[in-house]
Amino acid sequence: MAWLTINTYLQLLCLQLLLLLLSHNSYAKLCPDEQSYALLQFKQLFSYDQNTHSSHCDRLRLLPSYPKMVSWGLDSDCCSWDGVTCNTFTGHVIGLDLDCSWLHGSIPSNTSLFLLPHLQSLNLAFNDFNLSPIYGEFAQLHSMTLLNLSSSNFSGQLPSEISHLSKLVSLDLSNNPEVKLETRILEGLVRDLTELEQLVLDSVDMSAITLGSMANLSNSLISLSLSSCGLQGNFPESIFFLPNLMTLKLAYNQNLTGFFPKENWSNPLRFLDVSFTNFSGTLPDEMSNLKMLRHLILNDCNFIGSIPTSLGNLTQLTRIDLLSNNFSGHIPSSLSNLDQLQYLDFSSDKFIGEIPDIFVNLQQLSYLDFSSNQLVGAIPSHNSKLIIVRQSKDSKSPEYYKTV
């Protein structure tokens, strides 16, 4: 009996010790001191300016922007700070998300940000870093898989060391028009970033690029966005063949030429935008293989020829924008198959003949423009959502057929 009492006592003692240990660990500091200090040093570089992209951030995120770093302090574990993510076992800082944080100030080359060696994700988008360079020291963050420096007022040549971030899956430097990218640097990115899935360089100065340097982009690439980059020359056809490519945006490169290939299209392609470029030629029948295509945006280019009947096979399309080209011939009745279509603009081309009765099935269509062609006939009213703008130079039809 005494033995049972002693045994029970020892079990209770062990349980109390275990609870004490768990209680201590639950309040233990997870974040290493040196990483807390590095983050606080980084915080000291900036003032807060609510006008820094705040309205754009509010629209983009559908949540109000705010200065995330204001609440950072030594009175709490850095793993609990707004925008900071830690490894739950080691406590190392692995993620820093400071987009839309009202930051204003310059980043020095010896910034304490580079003292976070376990960082895997860094998002500094939509701030104002006062034309700071993108330093080669970013390569010290060798575990990085996501780097987003978009819309943050960086400047200078992109350093070659960026290609040393061999684990990068997503690189977004867009909307930094003072950042320049040279051919040799791009060649390094293409050669070394073999796991890259998203490359977004809109409004980065790529005017000096030799386009052939992009020809061997990684097969892992899912999204490529190069709008307003000053690209010149002939776009590599091989990019259309990338097996996983879903998004290709090349808009507003007025000196960029190219043709659509007649075979081997990337079947997963969902968004294709070459508007305001010098792409030319015809739309090949082989585009009918793009079964997942949702947006086809080709306005203000130099395309010619008729619309292939096979376009009606792309039943996932929600937007077709072909305005201001040299398309001709009749509008194919097969477009009636596109029952997901919401936006259709065939204006300022050279279409002729009767307007086909394609609208019975287009119940999602909300915008339609056939203006400035040589089309005749009425547009049947089958959809109360539809806003139709139809203006003919030959005055055979009213300027507005229907506006709802």
> 294: which residues sit within 8 A by CB, 6+ positions away?
270, 271, 316, 317, 318, 319
Asked whether the beta carbons of 281 and 257 are under 8 A apart, the reply is no
> 393: which residues sit within 8 A by CB, 6+ positions away?
372
What pLDDT score does 387 carry? 74
As for how many domains the chain has, the answer is 1
Using alpha carbons only, what angle is made at residue 226 by residues 225 and 230, rounded to the nearest 5 degrees? 170
For residue 265, what pLDDT band results from cuts at 50, 70 and 90?
confident
**Best-predicted range by mean pLDDT (6-15, 289-298, 384-393):** 289-298
What pLDDT score does 402 carry? 47
For residue 60, what pLDDT band results from cuts at 50, 70 and 90?
confident
Q: Identify whether 396 is part of a domain.
A: no
Q: What is the CATH number of the domain that holds 147?
A: 3.80.10.10
What pLDDT score does 7 carry? 58
Q: Identify whether 125 is part of a domain.
A: yes
Span 306-350, pLDDT tens digits: 999 999 999 999 999 999 999 999 999 999 999 999 999 999 999
Cα separation, 127 vs 107, whole angstroms: 12
Asked whether the beta carbons of 350 and 370 are under 8 A apart, the reply is no
- The whole-number average pLDDT for the span 20-42 is 75
Q: Where are the beta strands (DSSP E) in 216-366?
A: 223-225, 232-234, 247-249, 255-258, 271-273, 278-281, 295-297, 302-305, 319-321, 326-329, 343-345, 350-354
Given a cut of 90, whether residue 3 has pLDDT beyond it is no
Q: Identify whether 30 is part of a domain.
A: no
What pLDDT score does 392 carry? 56
Q: Identify whether 402 is part of a domain.
A: no
The encoded tokens of residue 144 equal 């990085």
What pLDDT score does 28 carry? 58
The encoded tokens of residue 25 equal 């660990």
**Residue 146 main-chain phi, psi, to 5 deg:** -130, 125
For residue 302, what pLDDT band results from cuts at 50, 70 and 90?
very high
Helix, strand, or coil (residue 368) = strand
What pLDDT score does 313 carry? 95
What percent of the chain shows pLDDT beyond 70? 87
What pLDDT score does 1 carry? 43
What pLDDT score does 10 carry? 52
Instruction: Report, in this order, helix, strand and coil percent for the chain, each rounded to 5.
Output: 25, 20, 55
Structural domain range at position 264: 36-389
- The whole-number average pLDDT for the span 184-196 is 96
Cα separation, 103 vs 127, whole angstroms: 5
For residue 19, what pLDDT band results from cuts at 50, 70 and 90?
very low
Q: How many CB atoms lie within 10 A of CB 169?
A: 17
Cα separation, 45 vs 37, whole angstroms: 13
What pLDDT score does 11 carry? 52
Given a cut of 50, whether residue 4 has pLDDT beyond it is no
What is the residue-averaged pLDDT of the chain?
A: 89
Q: Identify whether 46 is part of a domain.
A: yes
Given a cut of 70, whether residue 220 has pLDDT beyond it is yes
Given a cut of 90, whether residue 274 has pLDDT beyond it is yes
Q: Identify whether 397 is part of a domain.
A: no
Asked whether the beta carbons of 275 and 298 are under 8 A apart, the reply is yes
For residue 385, what pLDDT band results from cuts at 50, 70 and 90?
confident
- 2-6, 60-64, 193-197, 209-213, range with the lowest pLDDT: 2-6
Q: Identify whether 25 is part of a domain.
A: no
What pLDDT score does 393 carry? 54
Given a cut of 60, whether residue 32 has pLDDT beyond it is yes
For residue 6, what pLDDT band results from cuts at 50, 70 and 90?
low
Span 224-255, pLDDT tens digits: 999 999 999 999 999 999 999 999 999 999 99
Q: Identify whether 398 is part of a domain.
A: no
- The whole-number average pLDDT for the span 357-368 is 88
